[in-house]
Structure 1
Amino acid sequence: MNTALGAIRQNGFVVADLDDAIRNWTDRLGIGPFFRIAEQPLVGFTHRGAPSEARIAVALAQSGGIQIELIQPLDEHPSAFAEYRRTSGVGLQHVAHWTQEFDQAVALVRARGLRLVQSGRSGSGGPDERFAYFEVPGSTAPIVEISETRGRKAALFAAVAAASEDWDGADPVRDMAELLR
């Protein structure tokens, strides 16, 4: 059964060392190139209902129809990423559904009993770059992210996917800013 949310479009992994994780994905799994940002902007970020100054480093790549997101928490400020690192270490922390109908998708997961963990806006912090992470109470399922993919964020994700097509292993780590110009 496919849900009204559509397919899972991203798997997000919390990692201990972003550069080491990128090397493992590129050298051992042949997935890349990765687009890296030393500190991902988080605008209006809240965790469990309270504002947080959490900082993260991020790298994105694509494997077929799935985007791979590697996330390294840079501090212990409240975030689902820091929580995961404390409780589980490293590994698959979330799966993401991409949508252009953010409010409807959020309403749907809330109606299904999922609880909001964190939210905000990514990238340039534009009004069409919202995200919200939900936990499934009583389950070992990963956190579910609803990611609004319009405007610059949609263009960024499309560029990451395009770079992976026929990637020959050259230039495995790239600056995410290249895609935002």
Structure 2
Amino acid sequence: MSRLFGPIRQNGYVVRDIEAAMSFWTEVHGVGPWFYVDRVQTDHFLYRGEASPVEMSIALANSGDLQLELIQQRNEAPSMYRDFIDAGHEGLQHVAYWTTEFDSLYQRALGSGLTLGHEGQIGGPKGRFAYFSQQGHPGSVIEISDISGSKGDLFAHIRDTARGWDGTDPVRRVG
């Protein structure tokens, strides 16, 4: 567990083909079901402090208490996802810490010397997220995510559904 942020709750993979990635995780690892959003609607999205019209698809599934997130950016808008792909990477891009005290954790991240890369909001003020860049290695971006609203309920539902999953209906479209 991180002494700064608590337990890692999610591994986020940036991929070029989200459908192929879901199939891989389902067929090779037996992880699922995937809750798939073809086009995520953000309330706002900022890359390095500037508005960016990012378009992305995401899929979420759990393996035990660890959530896996697959992200495919669908346009060329500036983002840390685009930076990762443009650098020739694909795969683990970030680890995420979840919180019900977002503002406090956000300030702690900045106070620890991390640099804000991109941030946004999905589903209202309790759906905030922020990604912090640092000079580590690929796959070590830090995300913090506010789960005090409906996102926390959704994440709990995904975890609970995975616990009893029998392998049927591996991709469940959301929205």
TM over 0.5: yes
Q: Return the TM-score normalized by structure 1.
A: 0.92
**What is the CA distance between 1:135 and its match in structure 2?**
1.0
Name the structure 1 match of 2:148.
Answer: 150
**What is the CA distance between 1:74 and its match in structure 2?**
0.1
Match of 1:128, SS? Answer: helix
Name the structure 2 match of 1:161.
Answer: 159
Match of 1:171, SS? Answer: coil
Name the structure 1 match of 2:130.
Answer: 132
Name the structure 1 match of 2:48.
Answer: 48
Task: Kindly report which structure 2 residues correspond to 1:1-181, keeping only aligned pairs within 5 A, or say none.
Answer: 2-122=2-122, 124=123, 126-136=124-134, 138-140=135-137, 142-177=140-175
**What is the CA distance between 1:49 and its match in structure 2?**
1.1
**What is the CA distance between 1:152 and its match in structure 2?**
1.0
Task: Tell me, in whole angstroms, the C-alpha distance in 1 between the residues paired with 2:174 and 2:156.
Answer: 13
**What is the CA distance between 1:4 and its match in structure 2?**
3.7
Q: How many residues align?
A: 174
The CA RMSD measured in Å over matched residues stands at 1.2
Deviations 1:64-120 (A, max 9, x none): 111000000101100111111110331101100000000110111111100000011
Percent of aligned positions that are identical: 41
Match of 1:25, SS? Answer: helix
**What is the CA distance between 1:2 and its match in structure 2?**
3.6
Q: Return the TM-score normalized by structure 2.
A: 0.96
Specify the code of the residue in structure 1 equivalent to 2:130.
Answer: A
The ranges of structure 1 where at least 4 consecutive aligned residues each deviate by more than 2 angstroms after the TM superposition are: none
**Does the CA contact (< 8 Å) of 2:2 and 2:8 recur in 1?**
no
